[in-house]
Amino acid sequence: MPLDLSVPASLVTALLPDLIVMGGAMALLLWGVWRPEGASGRPVGVGAIGVCLAALAAIAGMAVQGITAGPGPIAIDNFRWATDAVILVGTILSIALADDYGRRAEPVAVESHALTLLAASGMMLLAGARDLILVFLGIEVMSVAVYVLAGINRRSARSAEAALKYFLLGAFSTAFLLYGVALVYGATGATNLTAIGSALAASPPGPGSMAVIGLALMLVGFAFKVAAAPFHMWTPDVYDGAPTPFTAFMAAAVKAAAFASFARVFMEGFGPVFVRWHSVLWWLAALTMVLGNLIALSQRNLKRMLAYSSIAHAGYLLVALVTNTTEGAAAMVFYLFAYTLATVGAFAVVMALAEGAERPQDVREWSGLFSVRPLLAIAMAVFMLALLGFPLAGGMGFFAKWYLLQAALKAPAPQTRLAVLLVITSVISAGYYLYVIMVMFMRPRPADAAPFPDTPAWTRSVIVGAAVLLLALGLYPSPIVRWARSSSLQPTTATGVPSTPEALRITAR
Amino acid sequence: MMLALLQAAAEASPAAHPLAGTVAEYVWMLPLLPLLGFVINGLLSIVPAYHAGPEDVSHDPEAGHTDMAHEEAYEAEATTFHRRWNALSSVVGPLVVGIAFVLAAAIFLAMRAAGPSLETAGAFVRTYGSWMPAGELRINWGLQLDQLSMLMTLIITGVGTLIHLFSIGYMRTDPGYSRYFAYLNLFVCFMLVLVLGGSYPVLFVGWEGVGLCSYLLIGFWFSDESNANAGKKAFIVNRVGDFGFLVAMFLLWANLGTLDYAGVDAAATRLVANGALVTAICLFLFLGCAGKSAQLPLYIWLPDAMAGPTPVSALIHAATMVTAGVYLIARSGALFALAPFASLLVALTGALTALFAATIGLKQWDIKKVLAYSTVSQLGYMFVAAGVGAYSAAVFHLATHAFFKALLFLGAGSVIYALHEAYHHTHREEDAQDMRNMGGLRRHMPVTWALMWAATLAIAGVPVFSGFFSKDQILGAVYGAARHSAIGELRLLGIPGSAILYGIYVLGLVTALITAIYMTRMMLYTFHGANRTGEGERPHLHEAPWIMTGPLAVLGVLTVFGGWLNLPAVLHALGPEALLDRWLAPVVARASATLAGGEVAHLSHATEYALIGAAVAVSVLGIGFAVVRYRGPLLAKREAEAAETGLGAAVRQAYYVDRGIGRYLVEPTIALSRKVLWRGLDVGLIDGVIVNGSAALMRGVAWAGARIQTGNVGNYAWIVAVGALVVIGAVAFR
């Protein structure tokens, strides 16, 4: 059932999941403010999760009905639904963590749930946006909410510092993005990605310098949002300083949304000038993988280590982008799903073991964790192995890397060297992922070590749920991947039409 | 109902095998039954451990290598709870093997009932799913039932049941009782997989599985380091052989494109007879056999394997597992028939091993060591037979050896048990396996004495006893092959093959002589003369309980009458001749005939009588010599004679082989590993340069990263701006 997006009612239908989340966020905000001061935030948290589940149901319904859309500002394809699902799962897990966080020691205002939902709605807009104005809108809705979330712990100086840094640098990079949008509009006269694609394909001698510089500036803006080197500098500081539930939210959902939009803009809009951005992105991917993994090796602070780990994973995901194929996009979404579960799970364990107040946690404090908290240690081992891409015990993580490598090697322009670098840097990453496992399982627990706090119920559910989901989907991952591949994002070719992989292969020859 | 269904299915298939629809369809239950026992006993060994604490809490390492050293430790903590679980193991362990034996016997009867049609129908193969489908490689979980695997199955389950029963008494007081039966059941399971597997890879599963069980059971009392080391030694030495087996399988796959027996038999004709390829395949296979069956030069693990409980030595290291190599060669007859040169090497290795091990047996004091070297020696005989193409003679000796050697080991176990009990009563720490502590036991344990003499006469080759017939058939086959065979026409280092075969025959006779001597010596030291156990212990020496002597008696009957399985033609007056030869003919006759150079040579009756006469003379001579040599004052002496020099000392120390291997193989390897690989490569290059070097590099990067990661937003903005300029430049000027 194709929707005609020029009809307002159809446009509303196309945006139904996003509107559910947006409306839910506003309703919850009002409810939260109306409630007496000091009341438990849990009902609001439950409501927020309910809103996410409703959005998920809407997505499932639309995906099952096979609704499609013609060219317009909003894309309706499985790539969008899959990305939305990843974002919503990440959001649900983060809300659950934030609720426990608020109850435990650091009073976090109930508005945080509404803000999380608002950020999620921006992300979902990003995932479907096929118009540069909508892309910008999505990025801003997402970013402004996340800036606030990073600093929501008003009593913590580190949290405030993180928020301010994120805001300043984020504004700086948004300026690049916005200037890029303006230049691209100036060169092509369009903000719609399809129109931009045909315009770029039509210009006979190749794109003019205005379009090219616009493209480069947008690339910088996206690279900042996904934390690709050398635009990653904010990441460790912000991740370390922000309250852990929102660090998990940033590392998982923000990255997923930014990557989805990055992929859609560059594959659909700038697909015809693939040769212009291909090698820059190649180098960004390589640099990000190497730098992220190498610096992660020397980190002993768990949150900083996970921050560099997330930078490294941005590098792996850029490899999918460099392939510029439908398979690459599908592999990217699958990877984001596995990465989201593992990262949120890992941050959840970090949060569970932090005593009340936020303070930097050293890995070595976890010595002998297995002997006192065996289940947490096992779950953390699963998350670490998943991030490493270890088969079986790492669940989905292995297949995520596997599909990524397959996409890289089977692309019309095979990215063999990048795939080799991906494997090598993954091996390097074993140095810090396995170190955590080694410390937990093989080091004795010092006799004078302080006891760990009890794990709150929701946090426990998040940890168990993420680990079980990772392992279960690791046993039978192929249906998800097949679904993500079908009716997905399709790169525009030099002829200006969305191409099939076969057509791409012919043009590559 | 089930049978009827199966029958219907069998009738529907176009070329129904005569065994289709019969009880043979249940062949898959054979390995699964002991596996079930393993699971139950394994659980039993885990469950009580949680109630009664760790098993070896109070184990005394000073107790030496005596089998029953744990009794005291056990009795202190033995609870009724424990005993109840043990009773369950006593039932389950032997029962599953017993049921497997009954099933095997039923299948055997079905095969007999199938009659001559079975001889032409080929093997009965059943496939239970795909194991390794990879490209063209198709390996299935298939079982193959034919005359050879049937015979092996009967031996394994039959002798296995007896040894399981014996173990009930022997291991009665061991804290690891259920664990013991779990391992023993698992062993039977893998051994059945080994002989019933329908292809080399499935055989290999069993082959490695029995190796694992052997390792576990040799080191059963692992809290004593020497036992654990003995297990490791067996495992490591067998790796050398397994390497050969694997290479042989790779070669088969690469050149024939198939690994199941039926396929290999059919495709073997594509190989060039006498060619380098088939010879290499056979020699690599034989390397595997030499490891598993303890032939020169890989025999060194078997004497050490005696560290395990004695019934284990009887089942694994005498009756079944170590004969797997003989089975493998008989199974691969189609290949060996094409490689007479490899066959000659097999026979020669077997003959040299037989003689070599027999001489070492002459000087051992440990009763189990005597039997261990004797086993190596007898296995040598089997390889001689397999080497000259007399596969049914090899399997015949395998069967009779399973009877009499199991009897000897269990008898020795009975003796050790008695001595241990006696020493336990008086709380003296003495070696219950040293024959210098025995003597005169005939008066205390007459049943064991009589049965062990029967086995000794059998192994020595005294007529009427089973060993006589099988050994005589082997020597006859060698003599026949020397007269006329494909092997005899070869030349090895310029020496005609027939001359070598005559030499092997002579070696066989000499070995028979020595065998008679050392076995008689063992019996004299153990059972005759004055008792040397000790004044205090003597009243406590008594016969083992019926659960142990019962199986001994059954084995005694088999030892005495086992020869009737395959009577030689000249003795047809005694009963039906060559039953086993005819039974195995469908499997091995073609290969035997090919190696014999057309047809197996028939010796004239006069020659056969002469050969039998020589063999009998040699064994009687040996027994007589031993009686004269070891009788008298020696028997009464408590301590060893004066220190020996020269050859005597060399033999006593098993020709210093272990010491030599230690000095020239193990120590240099350790030195190489330690100095070059560990200190040089690992610590120096890998740790020093690569690991620490990359760590230093890392520190550099981290330092640089820390320099850049100032935390200052202005710096970050600068880096973003510079990065953006680089990106714009790269995109614009591409």
Selecting from B698, B720, B734 the residue whose C-beta is nearest the C-beta of A169 gives B720
Q: Which helix (H) or strand (E) holds A48?
A: helix A42-65
Inter-chain touch B724–A294, beta carbons under 8 Å: no
Inter-chain touch A276–B734, beta carbons under 8 Å: yes
Inter-chain touch A224–B720, beta carbons under 8 Å: yes
Cα Rg of chain A (Å, integer):
22
Cα Rg of chain B (Å, integer):
30
Nearest in space to A487 (alpha carbons), one of A82, A132, A88? A82
Distance of CA B98 to the CA centre of its chain: 21
Q: What is the mean pLDDT of residues B530-551?
A: 83
Inter-chain touch B723–A231, beta carbons under 8 Å: yes
Inter-chain touch A168–B713, beta carbons under 8 Å: yes
Q: Which of A197-211, A472-486, B389-403 has the highest mean pLDDT?
A: B389-403
Q: Angle at the Cα of B486 (from B485 to B492), degrees rounded to 5?
A: 110
> What per-residue confidence (pLDDT) applies to A37?
73
Domain assignment present for residue A217? The answer is yes
Locate the chain B residue with the closest alpha carbon to A165. Answer: B713
CA distance A263 to B362: 83
> Interface of chain B against chain A, CB under 8 Å?
698-699, 701-702, 705, 708-709, 711, 713, 715-717, 719-720, 722-724, 727-728, 730-732, 734
Cβ-based contacts of A168 with chain B (< 8 Å): 713, 717
Inter-chain touch B727–A220, beta carbons under 8 Å: yes
Within this chain, do residues B130 and B209 fall inside the same structural domain, yes or no?
A: yes
Contact between B308 and B167 under an 8 Å Cβ cutoff? The reply is no
Cβ-based contacts of B731 with chain A (< 8 Å): 212-213, 215-216, 219, 276-277, 280
> What per-residue confidence (pLDDT) applies to B83?
65
Inter-chain touch A169–B728, beta carbons under 8 Å: no
Cβ-based contacts of B718 with chain A (< 8 Å): none
A355-380 residue pLDDT tens: 765 677 888 889 989 989 999 999 99
Domain assignment present for residue A2? The answer is no
Within this chain, do residues B602 and B675 fall inside the same structural domain, yes or no?
A: no
Domain assignment present for residue A435? The answer is yes
CB < 8 Å from B in window 66-105 of A:
none
Cβ-based contacts of B708 with chain A (< 8 Å): 233
Inter-chain touch A280–B708, beta carbons under 8 Å: no
Whole-number average pLDDT of chain B: 83
Cβ-based contacts of B722 with chain A (< 8 Å): 230
Inter-chain touch B720–A213, beta carbons under 8 Å: no
Find the domain containing A185 and state its range: 12-508
Within this chain, do residues B495 and B565 fall inside the same structural domain, yes or no?
A: yes
Selecting from B709, B720, B730 the residue whose C-beta is nearest the C-beta of A236 gives B709
CA distance B294 to B376: 6
Within this chain, do residues B624 and B675 fall inside the same structural domain, yes or no?
A: no
Selecting from A172, A280, A298 the residue whose C-beta is nearest the C-beta of B727 gives A280
Burial class (CB in 10 A: 0-12, 13-18, 19+), A119: buried
Contact between A117 and A243 under an 8 Å Cβ cutoff? The reply is no
B256-300 residue pLDDT tens: 888 888 888 888 888 888 888 999 999 999 999 999 998 888 888
Inter-chain touch A298–B709, beta carbons under 8 Å: no
Q: Does A48 touch chain B (CB under 8 A)?
A: no
Domain assignment present for residue A6? The answer is no
Distance from CA of B724 to the nearest CA of A (A): 6
B327-370 residue pLDDT tens: 999 999 889 988 888 999 999 999 999 999 999 888 888 899 99
CA distance B272 to B192: 33
Inter-chain touch A237–B711, beta carbons under 8 Å: yes
Phi, psi of B140 (to 5 degrees): -110, 155
B420-475 residue pLDDT tens: 888 888 888 778 888 888 888 888 889 999 999 999 999 998 888 998 999 999 99
Distance from CA of B705 to the nearest CA of A (A): 7
DSSP state of A13: H
Total count of domains within chain B = 2
Q: Whole-prediction pTM value?
A: 0.63
Query: Which of B14-18, B43-47, B316-320, B551-555 is predicted least confidently?
Result: B14-18
Percent of chain A with pLDDT over 70: 94
Inter-chain touch B705–A217, beta carbons under 8 Å: no
Locate the chain A residue with the closest alpha carbon to B733. Answer: A276
Inter-chain touch A212–B732, beta carbons under 8 Å: yes
> What per-residue confidence (pLDDT) applies to B637?
54
pLDDT value at B663 more than 90: no
Locate the chain A residue with the closest alpha carbon to B712. Answer: A165
Residue A86 structure tokens: 């990843």
Within this chain, do residues B521 and B554 fall inside the same structural domain, yes or no?
A: yes
Residue B637 structure tokens: 């002496």
Domain assignment present for residue B731? The answer is no
Find the domain containing B115 and state its range: 11-635
Where do we find the tokens 């109902």? B1
Inter-chain touch A279–B705, beta carbons under 8 Å: no
Total count of domains within chain A = 1
Q: What is the mean pLDDT of residues A56-61?
A: 92
Nearest in space to B386 (alpha carbons), one of B357, B355, B346, B351? B346
A162-207 residue pLDDT tens: 999 999 999 999 999 999 999 999 999 899 998 998 888 886 667 7
Where do we find the tokens 């039923």? B106
- Which long-range CB contacts under 8 A does A202-207 form with residues at least 24 apart? A202/A496, A206/A273, A207/A273, A207/A276
Whole-number average pLDDT of chain A: 88
Inter-chain touch A297–B723, beta carbons under 8 Å: no
CA distance B264 to B275: 16
Q: Report the residue of A233, A294, A432 to disrupt the B interface, i.e. the one with the largest count of B CBs within 10 Å.
A: A233
Cβ-based contacts of B699 with chain A (< 8 Å): 298
Q: Please tell me which residue, B691 or A447, carries the higher pLDDT value.
A: A447
Nearest in space to A358 (alpha carbons), one of A152, A168, A166? A152
Strand partners for A140: none
Nearest in space to B602 (alpha carbons), one of B509, B702, B480? B480
Inter-chain touch B713–A295, beta carbons under 8 Å: no
Phi, psi of A3 (to 5 degrees): -100, 140
pLDDT value at A240 more than 70: yes
ipTM of the complex: 0.86
Domain assignment present for residue B728? The answer is no
Strand partners for B491: B496
Distance from CA of B690 to the nearest CA of A (A): 13
Inter-chain touch B719–A230, beta carbons under 8 Å: yes
Where do we find the tokens 């801003």? A140
Within this chain, do residues B209 and B268 fall inside the same structural domain, yes or no?
A: yes
Inter-chain touch A233–B719, beta carbons under 8 Å: yes
Tell me the HSE value of A204 on the side-chain side, using a 13 A CA sphere. 0
Inter-chain touch B731–A234, beta carbons under 8 Å: no
> What per-residue confidence (pLDDT) applies to A505?
37
Residue A112 structure tokens: 């945080």
B49-101 residue pLDDT tens: 544 444 444 444 444 444 454 554 454 445 555 667 788 888 888 999 999 99
Q: What is the mean pLDDT of residues B599-608?
A: 77
Instruction: Tell me how far apart the terminal alpha carbons of chain B are, to the nearest angstrom.
Output: 80
Nearest in space to B173 (alpha carbons), one of B80, B88, B93, B73? B73
Cβ-Cβ contacts under 8 Å between A and B: the total is 81
User: How do B495-496 and B124-134 pair as beta strands?
Assistant: unpaired
Q: Does A176 touch chain B (CB under 8 A)?
A: yes
Q: What is the mean pLDDT of residues A131-150?
A: 94
DSSP state of B24: G
Domain assignment present for residue A372? The answer is yes
Within this chain, do residues B135 and B197 fall inside the same structural domain, yes or no?
A: yes
Inter-chain touch B732–A216, beta carbons under 8 Å: yes
> What per-residue confidence (pLDDT) applies to A276?
86
CB < 8 Å from B in window 211-230 of A:
212-213, 215-217, 219-220, 223-224, 230
CB < 8 Å from B in window 108-167 of A:
164-165
Within this chain, do residues B514 and B613 fall inside the same structural domain, yes or no?
A: yes
